[in-house]
């Protein structure tokens, strides 16, 4: 999702992780109103994927707008399946891993957790690549020389971004950053408005026509990138638990998916009418840098990863730290000083590792397509269907619901197999 897609979903995920767990009592309710829950839902779904949907549409052709709606509907429906899984046993199914464990035991929890942590890790890598790409566009001659070693502008800005976010990862309480990162919704809307203004008023125009239908590879890239955009399912249980009236969760999903799809579709259409087949993997890389509106759009895009990076990596770091502390307790070597050192070391090493991956695979589009096809398809398409069919015997009876679940599973399997192959091929070939 965002990250995000990937990417906004991660902010909400950490924000909810900072709150006390809900009581097992069925009568316990959260405090979020319907309006606030809708805002949180949009923040989960609307992330950095918005800069790549124009590229996805240019690769797949105009008819891929229908595919965008199909992916949105599929992910909306599997969100409802997660709700039904939670309703079947509200005392135990409070998180996504809880649902997986009830359906498939400890192996199910381990598999879901692995996919979630790997998704978060690669989204953090995507943040650094995005920073490097866009800052290089603004400052293309910012080379760094260390003796005889020359560091190019993109590599230098990736390192600079990592140095900026590193201190934020050392914070234990990330609530402030979580609230700041919730501005991702506003940032996305600002980006859409700036793009329209640039096209309509700054001389770029809407003259490109593009293709009606792209190649098979292009369509699969579009499917993979669209799947990245709707990657909020691991956070949906926490979103539902936070609601004052949980019976309105389905309405929250309707509003959240409708607003997100409208935003993604608008950005895709604007970008293609402006740049057509010249689109790069990030729309911001096509915008003219000599315009104030373009700079607003780019700087707004750059601000999100800075505030969200720590929130994205926090669940991974916490899981590693808990494992290390558990091993230390067995050896009777655990104390407060060791815990602090473990925390600093773990999080610093985690940042360094994402920098290494970002510098080794500096390909924003193909890496996002890989996350969408391999990880988010599993979390948003396949696992919800499998868990629901396992938990609810009624769902296995032939009928409309069963047919929809089978169709979503087939679509997800197609994206997972073909989309993953094409994205890996693009990464190996160095396709940008």
Cα(271)–Cα(299) distance, integer angstroms: 18
Q: Which two tokens stand for residue 372?
A: 């969408």
Question: Is residue 338 assigned to a domain?
Answer: yes
Question: Is residue 424 assigned to a domain?
Answer: yes
CB 287 within 8 A of CB 297: yes
pLDDT value for 234 = 93
N- to C-terminal Cα separation, the chain: 19
pLDDT value for 331 = 67
Range from 6-15, 96-105, 165-174, 187-196 carrying the lowest mean pLDDT: 6-15
Q: Could you report the per-residue pLDDT of 359-396, keeping only the tens digit for each? A: 999 999 999 999 999 999 999 999 999 999 999 988 88
CA distances from 331 to 163, 326, 337 (A): 34, 9, 16
Residue 170: what are its φ and ψ, rounded to 5°?
Answer: -80, -10
Tell me the whole-structure pTM to 2 decimals: 0.89
| Mean pLDDT confidence for 224-244 | 93
pLDDT value for 336 = 61
Question: Is residue 212 assigned to a domain?
Answer: yes
CATH code of the domain in which 130 resides: 1.20.1740.10
Instruction: For residue 209, count CB atoms less than 10 angstroms from its CB and return exposed for 0-12, middle for 13-18, buried for 19 or more.
Output: exposed
pLDDT value for 24 = 41
* Segment holding 87, helix H or strand E: helix 64-88
CA atoms within 13 A on the CB side of 328: 15
pLDDT value for 335 = 61
Cα(87)–Cα(78) distance, integer angstroms: 14
374 closest CA partner among 385, 384, 382: 382
Cα(152)–Cα(80) distance, integer angstroms: 47
pLDDT value for 109 = 95
Question: Is residue 1 assigned to a domain?
Answer: no
Question: Which 8-state DSSP code applies to residue 146?
Answer: E
2 has which bridge partners? 6
Residue 203: what are its φ and ψ, rounded to 5°?
Answer: 90, -5
Q: Could you report the per-residue pLDDT of 44-94, keeping only the tens digit for each? A: 999 889 999 999 999 999 999 999 999 999 999 999 999 999 998 877 778
Between these two residues, 38 and 21, which has the higher pLDDT value? Answer: 38
- Proportion of the chain above pLDDT 70, given as a percent: 92
Query: What count of residues does the chain have?
Result: 432
| Mean pLDDT confidence for 18-41 | 66
pLDDT value for 377 = 97
Average pLDDT over the chain, rounded to whole? 88
* Segment holding 149, helix H or strand E: strand 149-151
Handedness of CA 96, 188, 257, 277 (dihedral sign): negative
pLDDT value for 142 = 84
Number of domains in the chain: 1
pLDDT value for 383 = 97
Cα(53)–Cα(27) distance, integer angstroms: 41
pLDDT value for 355 = 97
Q: Could you report the per-residue pLDDT of 254-302, keeping only the tens digit for each? A: 999 999 999 999 999 999 999 999 999 999 999 998 899 999 999 999 9
Domain span including residue 249: 6-429
* Segment holding 150, helix H or strand E: strand 149-151
User: What is the biggest distance separating any 2 CA atoms in the chain, rounded to whole angstroms?
Assistant: 70
Q: Could you report the per-residue pLDDT of 389-405, keeping only the tens digit for each? A: 999 988 888 899 999 99
Question: Is residue 46 assigned to a domain?
Answer: yes
From the DSSP assignment, how many helices (H) and strands (E) are in the chain?
18, 2
Q: Could you report the per-residue pLDDT of 176-220, keeping only the tens digit for each? A: 777 777 888 889 999 999 999 999 998 899 999 888 998 999 999
pLDDT category of residue 21 using cuts at 50, 70 and 90? very low
């Amino acid at each position: 999702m965002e990250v995000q897609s990937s990417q906004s979903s991660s902010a909400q995920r950490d924000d909810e992780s900072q709150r006390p767990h809900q009581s097992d009592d069925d009568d316990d309710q959260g405090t979020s109103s319907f309006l606030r829950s809708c805002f949180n839902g949009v923040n989960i779904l609307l992330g950095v994927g918005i800069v790549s949907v124009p590229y996805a549409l240019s690769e797949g052709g105009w008819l891929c707008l229908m595919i965008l709606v199909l992916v949105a509907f599929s992910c909306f429906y599997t969100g409802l399946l997660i709700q039904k899984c939670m309703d079947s046993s509200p005392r135990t199914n409070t998180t996504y891993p809880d649902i997986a464990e009830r359906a498939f035991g400890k192996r199910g929890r381990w598999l879901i957790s692995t996919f979630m942590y790997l998704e978060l890790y690669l989204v953090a890598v995507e943040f650094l690549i995005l920073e490097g790409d866009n800052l290089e566009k603004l400052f293309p001659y910012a080379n760094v020389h260390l003796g005889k070693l020359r560091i190019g502008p993109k590599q230098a800005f990736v390192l600079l971004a990592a140095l900026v976010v590193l201190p934020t990862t050392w914070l234990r309480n990330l609530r402030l950053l979580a609230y700041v990162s919730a501005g991702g919704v506003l940032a996305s809307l600002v980006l859409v408005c700036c793009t329209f203004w640039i096209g309509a008023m700054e001389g770029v125009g809407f003259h490109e026509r593009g293709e009606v239908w792209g190649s098979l590879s292009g369509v699969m890239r579009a499917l993979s990138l669209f799947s990245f955009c709707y990657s909020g399912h691991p956070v949906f249980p926490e979103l539902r638990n936070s609601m004052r009236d949980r019976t309105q969760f389905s309405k929250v999903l309707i509003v959240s998916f409708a607003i997100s799809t409208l935003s993604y579709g608008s950005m895709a259409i604007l970008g293609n009418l402006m740049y057509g087949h010249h689109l790069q993997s990030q729309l911001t890389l096509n915008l003219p840098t000599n315009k104030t509106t373009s700079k607003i759009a780019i700087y707004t895009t750059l601000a999100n990863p800075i505030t969200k990076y720590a929130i994205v990596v926090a669940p991974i770091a916490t899981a590693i730290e808990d494992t290390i502390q558990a091993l230390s307790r067995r050896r009777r070597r655990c104390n407060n000083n060791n815990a602090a050192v473990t925390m600093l070391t773990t999080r610093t090493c985690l940042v360094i590792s994402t920098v290494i991956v970002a510098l080794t695979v500096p390909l924003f589009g193909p890496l996002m397509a890989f996350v969408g096809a391999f990880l988010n398809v599993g979390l948003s398409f396949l696992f919800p269907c499998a868990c629901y069919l396992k938990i609810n015997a009624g769902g296995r009876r032939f009928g409309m619901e069963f047919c929809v679940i089978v169709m979503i599973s087939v679509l997800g399997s197609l994206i997972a197999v073909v989309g993953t192959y094409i994205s890996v091929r693009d990464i190996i070939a160095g396709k940008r």
